[in-house]
Structure 1
Amino acid sequence: MVKALVATSATQGYRDNDYHWCVEGELVWIAPTCAQDRYDPDGGCGCGRGFAGLSSHRATTTAMVRTLHGITRADYIMVLRSSVEEQGYEIDDVEALADSLLDLVADLPDGAVLEHRLDYVQVRQRVP
């Protein structure tokens, strides 16, 4: 089992430029930020504040921490690798990327809702 980030509509509307185009519950990652949003998470593209869906290839500004039973680290790496390749990203070390995403949420409780603002990921809401 792994603890990872999944797309959620929870807390949407907290910021006036929130968006949620992912499939609820799909695995998400933090894709590289484009030139338009590089210095401004509220830039016109939205990638500076979004999590990218591994299945839908859409995005959301909110992600939830979930323990995924029946999914191993190797499974997670395979899914991540497949998705980033499908989307045309050239990631040299997908294993390291996967580990950084898994480490990011390792100590957070299931149900915590996170937001992404350029190089920062912060808890938006903790579940009681």
Structure 2
Amino acid sequence: MRSRVGFRCCLTLDRVIDVPIVVYVAVAVWGGAFGGAATLFQTALAKATDAAQAVLVTVWNAAIAGGGILGGALLDCLGFSAFFPVLLLLLAATFVVVWKARRHGFPVSTQRSAVDLVRSEP
């Protein structure tokens, strides 16, 4: 659901790039759609080792730095109009990764949670 919202924001930005308020609203919706990704990643690794969480933080920071560097280079070399096609390629790649990993990110647990244990008490 959230990836669809992000994709629609991307399409909106391409059509109405000259209307600042629409751009601001689309960016805000985009942030709301993907703002919880870091929390989801941490939750998925909650049962993993400390090393896995350390790697996640390192990769996350490297991705932010790499995105800033590549985005700046893209803007400098090709201009703002190059962002839309690159963004669509990145969204397509992200969709493929999420689609293929959907069963592994949050596997169904056979353990009962504390909430389930409280509910099952007489």
* TM bracket, shorter-chain basis: under 0.3
Greater length-normalized contact order (CA 8 Å, ≥ 6 residues apart): 1
For normalisation by structure 2, the TM-score amounts to: 0.27
For normalisation by structure 1, the TM-score amounts to: 0.26
Structure with the greater alpha carbon radius of gyration: 2
